[in-house]
Amino acid sequence: MKTLLCVAVSWLVFLVIGVSGVQSQGTENYTFLRGPSGAQVCLGRWIPSKDPALPGICDGQLVDVAQFTAISASLTASRLDQMLTSLASIDQKLEINNAQIRQLIETVTNTQASIDQQATQIGELLHERIADIFQALPEEILASDLFKQEIAKLREDILKEVEKVYSARQKPSK
């Protein structure tokens, strides 16, 4: 990848220098120059000369194209490494978050199962307690058949309500 990037930058520099008939060509923060010693790059501000016969002045470092390509490739590789480190950190944090979410889902599921089990137990206890209370009624109260039928009906109605409340709790809505 780094080699491909170096080749691409070198090709771009060669193309700009070879095609341009001008003494200097500015791109981004760099100025490419053709001089007697070959192609060079001004890594600063290029100040053109007022006299067309004289070259301008580089207010910064003047390097040849090979050095510029090496510097550019090194900086690009460094920035790519920084980005990869950042992405790896994000990936690690996402994995931690996903693990926490899985743990939270498991905890909620276990809590819901525990609540459902408790609701079932409470419903059963209430059912037994209500049945015991009605069975413990004195015989004098149950002597009348009409009264006995009304108490049995009341018992069944109460047990149905208890079952409805606690069985509805066992079936969570999705």
Res. 96 pLDDT band, cuts 50 70 90:
very high
| Residue 110: per-residue pLDDT | 96
What is the 3-class SS of 63-97, one letter each residue? EEHHHHHHHHHHHHHHHHHHHHHHHHHHHHHHHHH
Mean of pLDDT values over 146-152: 84
| Residue 76: per-residue pLDDT | 95
| Residue 73: per-residue pLDDT | 93
Mean of pLDDT values over 119-127: 88
Mean of pLDDT values over 110-126: 90
Place of tokens 């053709």: 34
Q: How far is CA 82 from the centre of its chain?
A: 19
| Residue 4: per-residue pLDDT | 52
The tokens describing 41, both together, are 């790059």
For residue range 26-50, what is the model confidence (pLDDT) as tens digits?
456 778 888 777 888 888 888 888 8
How far is it, in rounded angstroms, from Cα 104 to Cα 55? 70
Please name the amino acid found at residue 129: R
Q: Is residue 65 within 8 Å of residue 57, measured between CB atoms?
A: no
Phi and psi dihedrals of 32, rounded to 5? Answer: -95, 135
For residue range 12-23, what is the model confidence (pLDDT) as tens digits?
444 444 433 334
